[in-house]
Amino acid sequence: MGYNSMGKVWVLLMMVMMWCWASMAEAEYMRYKDPKQRLSVRLNDLMKRMTLEEKIGQMTQIERSVASNEDIKKHLIGSVLSGGGSVPSKQATPETWVDMVNDFQKGALSTRLGIPLIYGIDAVHGHNNVYKATIFPHNVGLGVTRDPILVKKIGAATALEVRATGIQYAFAPCIAVCRDPRWGRCYESYSEDTEIVRSMTTLISGLQGDSSEKGVPFVDGQQKVAACAKHYLGDGGTHLGTNEGNTILDSKKLFSIHMPAYNDSVIKGVATIMTSYSSWNGVKMHANRNLVTNYLKKKLKFKGFVISDWQGIDRITDPPHANYTYSILAGVNAGIDMVMVPMNYTEFIDGLTYLVKNKFIPMSRIDDVVRRILRVKFTMGLFEKPLADYSMAKYLGHQEHRDLAREAVRKTLVLLKNGKSASKPLLPLPKRTSKILVAGSHADNIGYQCGGWTLEWQGLSGNVTAGTTILSAVEKAVDPNTKVIYNENPNQDFLKSNKFDFAIIVVGEPPYAETFGDSSTLTIPEPGPSTIKNVCGSVKCVVVLITGRPVVVQPFINNIDALVAAWLPGTEGQGVTDVLFGDYGFTGKLARTWFKSVDQLPMNVGDSHYDPLYPFGFGLTTKATKTT
Ligand code: BGC
Ligand code: BGC
């Protein structure tokens, strides 16, 4: 080789090296990964790179029980959830949760584009699937407080507990306006009154943080989680209170009763909204393009993503899943962005791929979907910090959160009756006395106190997680010399052979969730009514009701000396005794109408046939006997 050709090779080599270096630099610099770039730049850059397969993956939410690192990678899955009670292991620690979520996340990060997944869970009264989490009162109680700031604080505490387990997304709040307590989810609703429900959308700001820009999805970093206003629309208005039923209303009423809280949620920057299983005038909400796309997205300008409910698109047909391809078509074209499949996800992915490839669903719809999902993921900083560490584990069941829950419990209590005559009130109870009786199926049962959506989907019975039962709260509250005798369902001999100064009876509904809670009778099951009858027949008594809604009390109300509605207070039973024994006064006002008999239902404040036992807004008060 001559000198000249040697030089040529040298130049060529240099050129190749430079090209390699340039393309390496290009591979290193991907605009969408650069947090310094504007959101729109990142979005456009990432969208340009994505294949149809990758886009469909973003739309797919699968259940953790069918998820694995490898499958997430292989199918490019964009989201995973825990259904009710779906946990990595029984009594799993926050660290175990973090490891599980991170393992799934690593699957997502190892894909070509490394788009992080978002993990969702029902944290509807605290981080309720998780052992030892703080369990706050269910929404039915929170409506009573009329305290949006308290509810915001609950949102902030819940966000920290959710992040403690490595999770970034909560399917809360439920902003249903429950118009009929026969509905099994009535306790997930703050009130029958639209204005109260609206005021409680502060939970969103607690979960996500305060947005400075109105109406744009917003999650303020690592201490906050994406929220989900659910279930859009009219879930609380179904005929006879049937779960997943049909809401029969003219549009004026639908919009004035059920829509306003969605408007507020959008303005507060809610990241996601979940569609309702229910129908409006016979049309399934999961297939209602007019309300989901035209109203929510176009009119209200919602820019976050719409998520389906669990197998919600399956239920577009009757029977469910009768024509899944049609379900995907109807749901996605209606405006659902992310589909909570959540089990048989390859069927969903194949079906959706077919529909897009054959132009039944336009590519523009898919691009709109993916833009919405990625906007939320970018906004919340998921790309910058996709993996969790153990540093937030300490927030789970934190004492400050338990104190907050206890305060909330105090404010959720409604005093319905106090003394057989107003001049002889029974409450507040004295702490120093000789002997008191605590009775009833719900007196020593944390699971019952918490209700449905606690550890398990349907809730549990027994002292199944950390917390204080009402019985132990009584023991802690009274003077050390006061004898507390507990008997769940005492008989006459027992009652006669003891000389009790008074009795605290704690009875109510067993836990339930969704359709299992639908009830046409609204009675509390035995032995509740007999315990009331027996005990109140021989001892001065206060009855504390643990229920998800108003229940039938008229038959025994005259035998009772005092009656307290405590709803589903959660783990912090001391909130109940704080008020019973007068450290704090009763302040709660009914956020629901207390009916006389079920044949009056539905009956809400403002109705022409309004004839309640206790009206909306009712609640006796007491003064604190000690200043705290
Ligand atoms: C419920 C939703 C819940 C979802 C995930 C559904 O059955 O209706 O409220 O978020 O399950 O658990
Ligand atoms: C899940 C819940 C879900 C329900 C819907 C249950 O198996 O655990 O999260 O809401 O199914 O039917």
Active-site residue flag, 578? no
- For residue range 541-593, what is the model confidence (pLDDT) as tens digits? 999 999 999 999 999 999 999 999 999 999 999 999 999 999 999 999 999 99
Pair 209, 217: CB distance under 8 Å: no
With cut-offs at 50, 70 and 90, classify the pLDDT of residue 422. Answer: confident
Q: How far is the CA of 459 from the centre of ligand 2 (A)?
A: 12
Q: Rounded to an integer, what is the distance from CA 119 to the centroid of its chain?
A: 14
Mean pLDDT value across the chain: 96
Q: How far is the CA of 171 from the centre of ligand 1 (A)?
A: 8
Ligand nearest to the CA of 456: 2
Model pLDDT, residue 626: 66
Ligand nearest to the CA of 86: 2
* Nearest CA-CA partner of 158 in 135, 178, 186, 132: 135
Q: How far is the CA of 252 from the centre of ligand 2 (A)?
A: 32
Model pLDDT, residue 13: 72
Q: How far is the CA of 310 from the centre of ligand 2 (A)?
A: 7
Q: Which residue among 230, 457, 518 is best mutated to probe the pocket of ligand 2, counting the most ligand atoms within 8 A of its Cβ?
A: 457
Please give the Cα distance from 624 to 430 (Å, whole number). 12
Ligand nearest to the CA of 516: 2
CA dihedral 365, 367, 368, 371 (to 10 degrees): 160
Please give the Cα distance from 340 to 79 (Å, whole number). 9
Ligand nearest to the CA of 314: 2
Q: How far is the CA of 399 from the centre of ligand 2 (A)?
A: 30
Model pLDDT, residue 387: 98
Active-site residue flag, 71? no
With 60 as the cut, is the pLDDT of residue 596 above it? yes
Model pLDDT, residue 608: 98
Q: How far is the CA of 594 from the centre of ligand 2 (A)?
A: 30
With cut-offs at 50, 70 and 90, classify the pLDDT of residue 21. Answer: low
Tokens of 554: 């008229």
- For residue range 83-120, what is the model confidence (pLDDT) as tens digits? 999 999 999 999 999 999 999 999 999 999 999 999 99
Q: Using N-to-C axis directions, what is the helix angle for 324-334 and 345-357, rounded to 10°?
A: 70
Q: Which residues form ligand 2's pocket by a CB distance below 6 Å? A: 83-86, 310, 457
Model pLDDT, residue 212: 85
Q: Average pLDDT, stretch 180-193? A: 99
Please give the Cα distance from 47 to 364 (Å, whole number). 12
Catalytic residue among 180, 314, 509, 514: 514
The radius of gyration computed from the CA coordinates of the chain, to the nearest angstrom, equals 27
Model pLDDT, residue 628: 44
| Strand runs labelled E in 521-571 | 541-546, 562-565
Q: Average pLDDT, stretch 44-68? A: 98
Model pLDDT, residue 6: 61
Coil/strand/helix, residue 487:
coil
With cut-offs at 50, 70 and 90, classify the pLDDT of residue 12. Answer: confident
Q: Rounded to an integer, what is the distance from CA 540 to the centroid of its chain?
A: 38
Nearest 5°: phi and psi at 287? -120, 15
Atom of ligand 2 nearest to the CA of 82: 9
- 173 preceded by a cis bond (ω within 30 of 0): yes
- For residue range 324-336, what is the model confidence (pLDDT) as tens digits? 999 999 999 999 9
Q: Whose CA is nearest to atom 6 of ligand 1?
A: 310
The pLDDT > 70 percentage for the chain reads 96
Model pLDDT, residue 166: 98
Q: Which residue among 189, 310, 516 is best mutated to probe the pocket of ligand 1, counting the most ligand atoms within 8 A of its Cβ?
A: 310
With 80 as the cut, is the pLDDT of residue 460 above it? yes
Model pLDDT, residue 452: 99
With 90 as the cut, is the pLDDT of residue 604 above it? yes
Q: 625 Cβ partners below 8 Å, 6+ apart?
A: 428, 582, 583
| Strand runs labelled E in 406-468 | 414-418, 435-439
Q: How far is the CA of 308 from the centre of ligand 1 (A)?
A: 9
* Nearest CA-CA partner of 504 in 572, 580, 568, 565: 580
With 90 as the cut, is the pLDDT of residue 18 above it? no
Q: Which residue among 275, 310, 341 is best mutated to probe the pocket of ligand 2, counting the most ligand atoms within 8 A of its Cβ?
A: 310
Pair 373, 305: CB distance under 8 Å: yes
Q: Whose CA is nearest to atom 5 of ligand 1?
A: 83
Tokens of 526: 């035995």
Burial of residue 25 (number of CB atoms within 10 Å: 0-12, 13-18, 19+) = exposed
Catalytic residue among 235, 309, 407, 561: 309
Ligand nearest to the CA of 276: 1
Question: Are β-strands 414-418 and 562-565 bridged in parallel, bridged antiparallel, or unpaired?
Answer: antiparallel
Q: Whose CA is nearest to atom 5 of ligand 2?
A: 310
Pair 352, 59: CB distance under 8 Å: yes
Q: Which residue among 122, 167, 314 is best mutated to probe the pocket of ligand 1, counting the most ligand atoms within 8 A of its Cβ?
A: 122
Q: How far is the CA of 83 from the centre of ligand 2 (A)?
A: 6
| Strand runs labelled E in 233-345 | 246-247, 272-275, 279-280, 283-284, 305-307, 339-340
- For residue range 192-249, what is the model confidence (pLDDT) as tens digits? 999 999 999 999 999 999 988 999 999 999 999 999 999 999 999 999 999 999 999 9
- For residue range 499-548, what is the model confidence (pLDDT) as tens digits? 999 999 999 999 999 999 999 999 999 999 999 999 999 999 999 999 99
Q: Whose CA is nearest to atom 2 of ligand 1?
A: 309
- For residue range 261-309, what is the model confidence (pLDDT) as tens digits? 999 999 999 999 999 999 999 999 999 999 999 999 999 999 999 999 9
Q: Which residues form ligand 1's pocket by a CB distance below 6 Å? A: 83-84, 122, 171, 230, 309-310, 514
With cut-offs at 50, 70 and 90, classify the pLDDT of residue 23. Answer: low
| Strand runs labelled E in 201-271 | 228-232, 246-247
Cα-based angle 589, 235, 245 (whole degrees, multiple of 5): 125
The pLDDT > 90 percentage for the chain reads 94
Tokens of 581: 């024994």
